[in-house]
Each structure stands twice: as structure tokens, then as C-alpha cells.
Amino acid sequence: MSAERRPLAARPLTEPHPSRLPAGHPDRARILAAHAAALAAEEAGYLDPATGLFVLTAGFLARRGTCCGRGCRHCPYVT
């Protein structure tokens, strides 16, 4: 089974894998706040505060059941 298709990791849904959102990302705090608000509201995603693009939440991606392999920022299957 590839790393992208492994079962849900123990990492909390609120913490993206460092390869998808590095600790030093200049907009990390704003991104995590937008993600947390979308998770709390049980929304599928949020608008990226820097780009305005729609980003799926880890909660939405986890409910899908598998990784799609597209490199989603909040993919819960990345280990």
C-alpha cells in the first residue's frame, strides 16, 4: 500500500503534514485559523487567505476514505 493510501494516521486533523504546510510558511497561522473555523463549522473547505483558492479540510478528506493522490494540503493520509 502506498504512503498516499494508508489508513488515517494518528496525526490530529488540525495539524497538516509538514510536507504539505511547513512550519515556516508565512501564512501558516492564517491558514490554520481558516482551516480550524471550517472544521468547527463542518464545512468541506475554506478559502485560502493568501490565494483565495478553495482548500478542502482534513475532515472532509478523511470522510472520503482514501487519498486521491492530488497533494491536498490537509490530506490526513500522508504519513
3-state secondary structure of 74: coil
Return averaged pLDDT per consecutive 10 residues of the chain, 79 residues in all.
51 90 96 97 96 96 91 92
Q: What is the pLDDT of residue 10?
A: 59
**11 exposure class (CB count in 10 Å sphere: 0-12, 13-18, 19+):** middle
Domain residue ranges of the chain, discontinuous segments joined by +: 3-64
Per the DSSP assignment, residues forming a β-bridge with 46 are: 55
Please give the Cα distance from 46 to 56 (Å, whole number): 7
Q: What is the pLDDT of residue 3?
A: 47
Please give the Cα distance from 12 to 17 (Å, whole number): 10
Please give the Cα distance from 72 to 16 (Å, whole number): 10
Q: What is the pLDDT of residue 9?
A: 54
This prediction has a pTM of 0.84
